[in-house]
Amino acid sequence: MMKNKKTYLLTMIVTCLVIGFASYFAWKIEFFEYTSGLENITGGPISYIIALLPFLVISILSAAGITLCIYIRKYYIKKDYVAGKFCEERAGRRTGRRIGGRQADKFTLIRWVSMISSTILLIFGARMFGTWFSSIDLPVLSCAIDGEQLGESGCYYLTHLSDLFTLPWKEIIMFLLSLFGFLLLFGRIFCGFVCPMGLLQDIVHSIRQGLGIEGISLNEKLYQGLKPVKWFLVIVFLCLCFVGGNFCNFCPAVSLTPAFAGFKVSLFVSGFIMVMVIVGSFFKRRFWCTICPMGYLMGLVYKITPFRLKKDCQSCTECGACYEACPMGIKSIYTERENEDVTTTDCIMCGECIKKCPENNALSLKFAGKDLYKASRKSFMFGYKEMEKKNEHK
């Protein structure tokens, strides 16, 4: 079983790389060259669809990659009966159910509404409100390449320091104050409630669950294996800050927000990375978030942000449901036995660990000491029973 699993993982990685490189060369069309400049599409729905062409091609390549990975996996698990039964149960194919017992609650619905509305505002905000708030600098994905966003992009100026210091000093000061103020107040909750890339990954994850396809459960070793990738991207990001490079060439968001706003942009490396992100996020929830350099840098201020993830170690029964549910693979939520505060650099405050926790108040999300969301045995069991009833009627 282990041999087949390792072979499958290796084959899937190679497949994703091949598809990614195919997408890389697909963008070598003069129509999408950076040198031709950013072009706003105003010619009606046909022109807008043309502007969406890069994202549509990425979606098709990603779907092809996902399908190929699924068929490759089926080929390998056919050779191992035990592995096949295990995958069938984990995917919930017999009953069509999701793994876990609790239904979507108010917190989850609020998070989805927040992500959807934030994505719309970040892409179409300036057009909707008829203004450009140049002094409101969000850390990521109010993409500077997208001329329709509500606020300017902090990550653009951080990777283009030469452009930053051409601004008047008042604007530079406002940029720094608004950026660091935003980070200190919210930290990585931005990733769980605002980021359009997070929304895309959650949609892809929901599609996989709806289809009853098994994902990949990463263990501690695999999470450790992703750390060098994350650190490599962090180093690249920081180096580009000082050498005048363009991180936008590597940012997968460039193929998302500008396209939906109706802007033609070049998608060389970023298109390749976006295919990898979609395929990876289909099998592993929030795959990009585990290696995102901007997300990690935002998380460095977690010790002083007012949003905290708290644990009542006395109420914890060590069931491990929180660790299994966490899309970021934060093991300390499960293993911590002394400290009440279990907030970490990687925590995106998505609340999945709280949602799957069956013990009253064992886990809770707080803002400045006040409860926003906490674990409840009653809610957990109610959701489980309702789900079982639906499965019986199917």
Q: What is the C-alpha separation between 245 and 252, in angstroms, rounded?
A: 16
Q: How are strands ordered across the β-sheet holding 307-311?
A: 307-311, 363-367, 370-374
Q: What is the C-alpha separation between 303 and 189, in angstroms, rounded?
A: 13
Positive or negative torsion for Cα 245, 270, 135, 366: negative
Q: What is the value of pTM for the model shown? A: 0.77
CATH code for residues 307-393 = 3.30.70
Confidence of residue 310 (pLDDT cuts 50, 70, 90): very high
Nearest Cα neighbor of 152 from 92, 167, 260, 214 is 167
How many beta carbons lie within 10 A of that of residue 242, not counting itself?
9
- Highest mean pLDDT: which of 200-204, 216-220, 250-254? 200-204
Average of per-residue pLDDT values in the chain: 73
pLDDT at 103: 47
What are the sequence ranges of the domains in the chain? 307-393
pLDDT at 160: 72
Report the greatest alpha carbon distance in the chain.
67
* Percentage of residues in the chain having pLDDT higher than 70: 62
Nearest Cα neighbor of 148 from 123, 116, 120 is 123
Phi, psi of 341 (to 5 degrees): -85, 115
**Mean pLDDT score, 177-184:** 83
Q: Which of 28-37, 151-160, 190-199 is the least confident region?
A: 28-37
Nearest Cα neighbor of 203 from 106, 96, 62 is 62
Confidence of residue 94 (pLDDT cuts 50, 70, 90): very low
Residue 301 has pLDDT above 70, yes or no: yes
Residue 309 has pLDDT above 90, yes or no: yes
Confidence of residue 112 (pLDDT cuts 50, 70, 90): very high
Q: Which of 162-166, 170-174, 175-179 is the least confident region?
A: 162-166
C-alpha Rg value of the chain to the nearest Å: 22
pLDDT at 311: 92
Q: What is the C-alpha separation between 330 and 350, in angstroms, rounded?
A: 12
Structure confidence by residue, pLDDT tens digits, 342-351: 999 999 999 9
Chain-centroid distance of CA 371 in Å reads 25
Q: Are 327 and 289 in contact (CB under 8 A)?
A: yes
Beta bridge mates, 366: 308, 371
Strands 39-40 and 263-264: antiparallel
pLDDT at 15: 58
Q: What is the C-alpha separation between 308 and 339, in angstroms, rounded?
A: 13
Q: Find all residues with CB under 8 Å of 241, minimum gap 6, and list them.
A: 158, 159, 161
Q: Higher confidence at residue 235 or residue 260?
A: 235
* Whole-Å CA distances, 230 to 10, 28, 39, 47: 19, 27, 32, 37
pLDDT at 365: 93
Strands 263-264 and 151-153: unpaired
